[in-house]
Amino acid sequence: MKNLRQNNASILLLLLDCLALAVLFFTFLFIRFNYVYFEINLPTLGKMFSDQYKAFILIMVSWYFISEYTQLYRGFRFSRYINYIKGSLFQIVLFSFVLFTVSGIKFEYLYSNEQAFLFISILAAYLILSRSLIFYVTKRIRIQGLDLRNVALIGYNENAKGLIDLLNQRKDLGLNLSKVFVAKNPEEGQETFNLDSFKKILIEENIEFIYICFGNGLDENLINQITDIAEGQYVHIGFIPNNSMNARQSLDISYLDTFPILTYKKYPLDHSFNQIVKRIFDLVFTFFVFVFILSWLYPIISLLVLIYQGRPVHFFQKRNGLNGREFNCLKFRTMREDKLNSLKPTERNDPRVTKLGRILRKTSLDELPQFINVLKGEMSIVGPRPHMVSENESYSDIIKRYSLRHYVKPGITGLAQTKGYRGAVDSDRDMEMRIRTDIYYVRNWSFLLDILIIFRTVKLMIFGDENAI
């Protein structure tokens, strides 16, 4: 019963999409052959189906199998909006090949090229609008305390509090933390875990998700027994690592003859095709920025820096880039001349920053010269912000998995900056949050994610960023 609601929602959505697809199919068929069918009524619909039933069935079946590949009807609760849209666009792209192929292989075209393009455009608009509506309506419903799923947390490590805080803050996830079990020494709001009563609690509390924390007295044998019981009750299981920085990525399984070998999955930007797509976008975007923005704004800012701060106009600083290689990161100078500028990070209310420099930093205009670094291939438009060499040397020993951020080119803007993790680093925790977000970007890169980050960056530039210093 636990998966019944999810399955029913998926089936209902599939039926609605098929209905929309059928309406478009027959509407455009009537437009294409109106000289044959003359008017819309049930006999006409029957005649159209009789004439084109092979194409209709092929299109419907193709939509279903493509949706299985793109997982269009799976994982609604935990999908981020960007993944919702990305999956929908991927579905449309693959389906468009089917539609144009089916239309073209007939003796007389099913649709003209213009009609097929309009068909796809309307279908894409429907898919994106319907997914957006579903996403935000269900989000609002869960915030109101409806459509909740009960969760049990088993074990307690240094990362568990972060999960509890997340569940308390993100009501839109629709997860209600029902029980928190620990192996020993329970505190307020916690209970001592008892394997004998665990199955009964799952049933009585209607637990649908359990998250098991590594550590805290949970050995491998006990974890195996917990998962066996949970799987027997069809409860979804997740594992919380000891430290968010040390979370292992998903594993692929391969075989030596029949012997299974587990290997780490590749990161998205390990694939050559994705690297090419990202590089082409970097060059095209930079070209437009140079033509329409930097061609007039760059000289103005340079002149202002020269008048109010004097020479030099630019500031070069050694930063670590792809695979840790050092490069000269270019910026407009925003500080007074100081021998510590290349060694000491900027602090809140830093006296070295000039009045003009504060304006440039607040609007991120001081970063514009880095488009030159993009042209040189040292940086990308979007990626983890490059840190000072001294910061890399310091934090790589403190924060686990820190080096993962160097698996991609650094960016002029990044996910961490648009999430508010920029500016002064008042504690190791501030840097840890920034690095965790950077690691998420490395592991989950997509072209659509880059577009979203750019959009958010432009918004911050227009309205100002309170975290900029």
Q: What is the pLDDT of residues 24-36, one digit of tens each?
A: 998 888 888 876 6
DSSP 71: T
Domain boundary among 224, 242, 260: 242
Tell me: do 168 and 206 sit in the same domain: yes
pLDDT of residue 289: 94
Contacts of 234 (CB under 8 A, 6+ apart): 2, 3
Please check whether residue 216 is in contact with residue 183, taking contact to mean a CB–CB distance below 8 angstroms: yes
As a whole number of angstroms, the distance between CA 173 and CA 395 comes to 33
DSSP 135: H
Tell me: do 95 and 226 sit in the same domain: no
Tell me: do 293 and 392 sit in the same domain: yes
- Three-state SS for 207? strand
* 262 assigned to some structural domain: no
Tell me: do 135 and 161 sit in the same domain: no
Rounded (10°) angle between helices 4-32 and 113-143:
150
* 25 assigned to some structural domain: yes
Tell me: do 414 and 458 sit in the same domain: yes
Nearest to 133 by CA among 170, 167, 88, 91: 88
Domain boundary among 113, 143, 173: 143
Please check whether residue 26 is in contact with residue 53, taking contact to mean a CB–CB distance below 8 angstroms: no
Tell me: do 236 and 293 sit in the same domain: no
Tell me: do 454 and 326 sit in the same domain: yes
Q: 75-82 contacts: CB < 8 A, separation 24 or more?
A: 76/6, 76/9, 76/10, 76/134, 76/138, 77/6, 77/149, 77/173, 77/174, 78/173, 79/135, 81/132, 81/135, 82/446, 82/448, 82/449, 82/452
What distances in angstroms separate CA 196 from CA 54, 144, 192, 200, 225, one per listed residue? 58, 35, 12, 8, 11
Tell me: do 415 and 399 sit in the same domain: yes
Poorest-pLDDT segment among 131-145, 226-240, 314-328, 431-445: 226-240
Tell me: do 111 and 156 sit in the same domain: no
pLDDT of residue 273: 80
Contacts of 326 (CB under 8 A, 6+ apart): 318, 319, 320, 389
What would the pLDDT profile of 119-172 be if each residue is shown by its tens digit?
A: 999 999 999 999 889 888 888 888 888 878 888 888 887 777 778 888 888 888
- Residue 212 pairs in a beta bridge with 154, 239
Tell me: do 320 and 447 sit in the same domain: yes
Taking the whole predicted model, whether its pTM rises above 0.85 is answered as: no
What CATH number is attached to the domain comprising 205? 3.40.50.20
Token representation of residue 280: 């082409």
Per the model's pLDDT, the better-predicted residue between 296 and 427 turns out to be: 296
As a whole number of angstroms, the distance between CA 406 and CA 442 comes to 9
Region 77-84: mean pLDDT is 76
pLDDT of residue 95: 92
- Quote the domain boundaries for residue 109: 4-143
pLDDT of residue 245: 46
What would the pLDDT profile of 191-219 be if each residue is shown by its tens digit?
A: 888 888 888 888 888 888 888 887 666 77
How confident is residue 278, by pLDDT bands cut at 50, 70 and 90? very high
Contacts of 80 (CB under 8 A, 6+ apart): none
Nearest to 411 by CA among 309, 341, 322: 322
* 96 assigned to some structural domain: yes
* Amino acid residing at 249: Q
Tell me: do 25 and 155 sit in the same domain: no
Helix boundaries (H) for 33-76: 34-37, 42-70
* 338 assigned to some structural domain: yes
- Mean pLDDT, the chain, rounded, equals 82
As a whole number of angstroms, the distance between CA 303 and CA 310 comes to 9
* 354 assigned to some structural domain: yes
Place of tokens 């996830």: 173
What would the pLDDT profile of 282-319 be if each residue is shown by its tens digit?
A: 999 999 999 999 999 999 999 999 998 888 899 888 88
Per the model's pLDDT, the better-predicted residue between 317 and 424 turns out to be: 317
pLDDT of residue 459: 87
Token representation of residue 322: 């792809």
As a whole number of angstroms, the distance between CA 468 and CA 364 comes to 8
Token representation of residue 412: 């002029």
pLDDT of residue 171: 84
Poorest-pLDDT segment among 254-263, 272-281, 451-460: 254-263
As a whole number of angstroms, the distance between CA 460 and CA 468 comes to 10
Q: What are phi and psi of 151, to 5 degrees?
A: -125, 140
As a whole number of angstroms, the distance between CA 138 and CA 133 comes to 8
Domain count, the chain: 3
pLDDT of residue 453: 93
Tell me: do 337 and 418 sit in the same domain: yes
What would the pLDDT profile of 369-419 be if each residue is shown by its tens digit?
A: 999 999 999 999 999 998 877 776 666 655 656 677 788 899 999 998 888
pLDDT of residue 176: 87
Q: Is the omega angle on the peptide bond into residue 268 within 30 degrees of 0, that is, cis?
A: no
Poorest-pLDDT segment among 44-58, 76-90, 241-255: 241-255
Region 266-293: mean pLDDT is 89
As a whole number of angstroms, the distance between CA 7 and CA 74 comes to 9
Give the CA diameter of the chain.
85
* 323 assigned to some structural domain: yes
* 261 assigned to some structural domain: no
Domain boundary among 86, 117, 143: 143
* 134 assigned to some structural domain: yes
